[in-house]
């Protein structure tokens, strides 16, 4: 046992000697017991009591920026089934705006502090990322099925309550996943690095800032070459496309994907969706931050699917003239393309769900400590100052009661979901949030769609929900939206943890943001999608996927291919087995595949997994050549790549949204 006396940390420590100009980020994991990790962070890095953080201007600035980004992400989710990060975009815009205002008014308005800017981006993230996906997935799919829009007084509270549910469910997960397990949350690291670079003045920090800026410009160019064609399409709709713009598009662009050599294709006939290389430095940058173990696990799992299991099932189906239905859910287009992920997502999601539950069970002591909300005095007597700045678990109880009542009420009256089924959807949201947070922490990818499918599968067998599409969709929408919002909050809290921020103040900023998001995204939904015909014209991939699964499962679970059911069972064994092996043989962890990486490999296309691996290999090779140099510059460069491409994609999405509004009016 460690006999070293623990200091009384009830009062905050003296103001650290660090300032915004030379902040040291604790990117590397701490060692020791959970209590020792907390004490080390609190004594060396915490500075949330010595700098402005939660201010009115930070919340208002983040709310306004988040409102624009919410509308943009609604558009991109409808158009391509993908949304873009908000935090880095908001940080850069806010920094420029307030520095400009301070200069114009000659210092009468101070520029935002780093922690204030970090609090601002939490508000912006909640507004921009935690609301629109609900409309573009489950509510959109319900519109395609029924042909009738849900009224605004149903959509608005449903979006608000589901986002709020995720924010509060993240409370008990923060201490475990960020403080103790030190999960990466790559976008959280990228955001913290971006802020540090914006505020840097030291020689070494300036070099890192310049490297980030160079990577940001490069990422921006890549994002521009990727995305500006979408703006051209919107301009063409309004007959406002200049001739020179159209000519430029014909020769200066980056395709969405590049086909891999034909000899690599494992199918003798036809092709598989996602079997390509995606020239996106955003995903490569995320792989650089994620690391080799998880990225290699993702690639290995995807390679097994695309080169092994999928071709085998296709051959079985061909041998039986399609009667066996091994790949009935593979077909994705009249051209006959095969999409292995449509089958594999059941097994991949099973791995992630059972892996997260196994991790929860193996760390039950830590989780139990986190829920000891009635022993506050005892912890204070032991000098645990962390309780004064962490979000208290009593807030979880206080928040969940009205949120659950409101959500169950909306479900009951608007979608005819019984009270007991509504309560099940709220309870299952904890499992969904747990998986989404852990997946985001390890890989920077939030499997909202995959977890929604798990809920759809669950409600396909529950009494009272079988065969009813509205119940199937809206129950899944509840859990998926909550999981996404929880992952967003933990990503922001990771940035705050690295910067030494007060997590309680950051939580308040995040909770405030969802109100701004609902205020913007609900009217935008009705303006952008006035009817079913307009939604069908978008050909929305994510919405169509939700509808397809609902159509399938409302006919009964027996409609799933038999092989998909086996994949669920095997995935459960893998999800439980890998965490157990890590616990029993901790020294072998580096050589075991990541359960979360394997699970994500089966819910993401091959092209995404390949990009992650390329990023991880770049850092691995760099470390072999010059580890010191890699440690200093790999994260800033990766952060710049992520920031650059996401910034440009976000700005172009805003432009497309404005043109899109004009196109549908």
322: how many CB neighbours lie within 10 A of its CB?
11
Q: How many domains does the chain have?
A: 1
**Residues 25-75 pLDDT 10s:** 777 667 778 888 888 888 888 988 888 899 999 999 999 988 988 887 787
pLDDT confidence of residue 304: 94
Residue 141 counted as domain residue: yes
**Residues 388-446 pLDDT 10s:** 888 888 898 899 999 999 999 999 999 999 999 999 999 999 988 988 888 888 777 78
Q: For residue 513, what pLDDT band results from cuts at 50, 70 and 90? A: very high
Quick check: 336 pLDDT over 60? no
Residue-averaged pLDDT of the chain: 80
Residue 507 counted as domain residue: yes
Quick check: 256 pLDDT over 80? no
Residue 9 counted as domain residue: no
Residue 61 counted as domain residue: yes
Residue 286 counted as domain residue: no
- Tell me the C-alpha distance between 459 and 554, whole Å: 9
pLDDT confidence of residue 332: 46
- β partners of residue 258: 277
- Tell me the C-alpha distance between 542 and 557, whole Å: 21
pLDDT confidence of residue 58: 94
Range of the domain at 155: 37-223+357-373+402-559
Q: For residue 573, what pLDDT band results from cuts at 50, 70 and 90? A: very high
DSSP tag of 27: -
Cα dist. 166→156, 484, 491, 509 in Å? 16, 7, 13, 14
Residue 632 counted as domain residue: no
pLDDT greater at residue 427 or residue 456: 427
Q: For residue 9, what pLDDT band results from cuts at 50, 70 and 90? A: very low
Residue 538 counted as domain residue: yes
pLDDT confidence of residue 511: 94
pLDDT confidence of residue 423: 95
Q: For residue 378, what pLDDT band results from cuts at 50, 70 and 90? A: very low
pLDDT confidence of residue 374: 39
pLDDT confidence of residue 119: 94
pLDDT confidence of residue 218: 92
- Tell me the C-alpha distance between 574 and 566, whole Å: 12
Q: For residue 377, what pLDDT band results from cuts at 50, 70 and 90? A: very low
Which segments of 170-303 does DSSP mark as H helices, in order? Answer: 171-174, 186-199, 203-237, 243-251, 281-290, 292-303
pTM of the model: 0.74
pLDDT confidence of residue 517: 93
Comparing C-alpha atoms, which of 481, 467, 482, 451 is closest to residue 416? 467
Residue 529 counted as domain residue: yes
pLDDT greater at residue 540 or residue 146: 146
- Tell me the C-alpha distance between 429 and 485, whole Å: 11
Cα dist. 479→70, 194, 397, 457, 461 in Å? 20, 31, 18, 12, 17
């Amino acid at each position: 046992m460690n006999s070293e006396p623990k200091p009384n940390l009830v009062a905050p420590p003296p103001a650290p000697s660090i300032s915004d100009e030379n902040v040291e980020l604790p990117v590397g994991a701490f060692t020791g017991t959970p209590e020792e990790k907390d004490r080390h962070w609190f004594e060396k890095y915490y500075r949330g009591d010595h700098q402005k953080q939660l201010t009115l201007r930070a919340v208002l600035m983040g709310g306004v920026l988040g409102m624009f980004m919410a509308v943009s992400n609604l558009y991109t989710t409808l158009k391509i089934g993908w949304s873009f990060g908000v935090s880095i975009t908001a940080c850069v815009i806010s920094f420029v705006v307030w520095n400009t205002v301070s200069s114009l008014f000659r210092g009468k308005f101070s520029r935002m502090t780093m922690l204030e800017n970090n609090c601002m981006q939490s508000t912006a993230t909640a507004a921009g990322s935690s609301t629109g996906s609900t409309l573009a997935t489950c509510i959109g799919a319900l519109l395609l099925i029924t042909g009738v829009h849900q009224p605004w007084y149903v959509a608005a509270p449903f979006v608000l309550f589901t986002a709020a549910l995720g924010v509060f469910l993240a409370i008990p997960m923060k201490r475990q996943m960020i403080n103790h397990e030190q999960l990466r949350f790559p976008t959280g690291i990228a955001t913290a690095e971006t802020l540090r670079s914006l505020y840097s003045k030291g020689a070494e920090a300036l070099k890192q800032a310049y490297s980030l800026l160079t990577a940001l410009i490069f990422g921006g160019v890549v994002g521009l070459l990727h995305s500006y064609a979408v703006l051209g399409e919107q301009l063409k709709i309004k007959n406002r496309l200049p001739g020179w713009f159209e000519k430029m598009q014909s020769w200066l662009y980056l395709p969405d994907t590049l086909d891999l050599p034909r000899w690599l294709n494992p199918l003798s006939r036809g092709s598989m969706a996602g079997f390509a290389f995606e020239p996106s430095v955003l995903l490569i940058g995320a792989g650089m931050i994620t690391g080799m173990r998880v990225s290699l696990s993702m690639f290995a799992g995807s390679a097994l699917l695309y080169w092994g299991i999928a071709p085998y099932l296709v051959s079985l189906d061909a041998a039986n003239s399609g009667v066996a239905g091994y790949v009935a859910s593979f077909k994705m287009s009249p051209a006959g393309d095969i999409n292995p992920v449509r089958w594999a997502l059941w097994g991949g999601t099973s791995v992630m769900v059972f892996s997260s539950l196994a991790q929860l069970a193996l760390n039950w002591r830590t989780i139990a400590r986190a829920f000891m909300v009635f022993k506050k005095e005892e912890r204070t007597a032991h000098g645990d100052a962390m309780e004064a700045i962490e979000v208290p678990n009593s807030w979880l109880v206080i928040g969940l009661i009205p949120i659950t009542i409101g959500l169950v009420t909306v479900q009951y009256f608007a979608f005819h979901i019984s009270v007991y089924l509504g309560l099940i959807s709220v309870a299952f949201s904890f499992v969904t949030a747990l998986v989404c947070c852990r997946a985001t922490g390890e890989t920077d990818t939030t499997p909202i769609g995959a977890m929604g499918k798990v809920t759809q599968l669950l409600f396909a067998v529950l009494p009272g929900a079988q065969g009813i599409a509205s119940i199937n969709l809206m129950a899944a929408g509840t859990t998926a939206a909550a999981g996404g919002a929880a992952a967003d909050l933990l990503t922001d809290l990771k940035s705050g943890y690295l910067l030494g921020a007060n997590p309680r103040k950051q939580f308040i900023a995040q909770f405030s943001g969802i109100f701004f998001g609902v205020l913007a995204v609900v009217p935008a939904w009705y303006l952008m999608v006035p009817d079913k015909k307009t939604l069908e014209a978008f050909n929305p991939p994510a919405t169509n996927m939700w509808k397809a699964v609902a159509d399938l499962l409302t006919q009964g679970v027996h409609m799933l291919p038999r092989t998909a059911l086996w994949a669920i069972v095997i995935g459960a064994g893998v999800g439980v087995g890998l965490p157990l092996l890590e616990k029993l043989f901790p020294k072998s962890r580096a050589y075991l595949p990541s359960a979360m990486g394997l699970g994500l490999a089966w819910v993401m296309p091959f092209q995404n997994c390949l990009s992650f691996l390329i990023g991880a290999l770049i850092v691995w090779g760099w470390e072999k050549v010059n580890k010191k140099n890699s440690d200093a510059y790999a994260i800033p460069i990766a952060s710049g790549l992520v920031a650059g491409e996401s910034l440009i994609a976000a700005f172009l999405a805003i432009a497309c949204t404005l043109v899109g509004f004009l196109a549908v009016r």
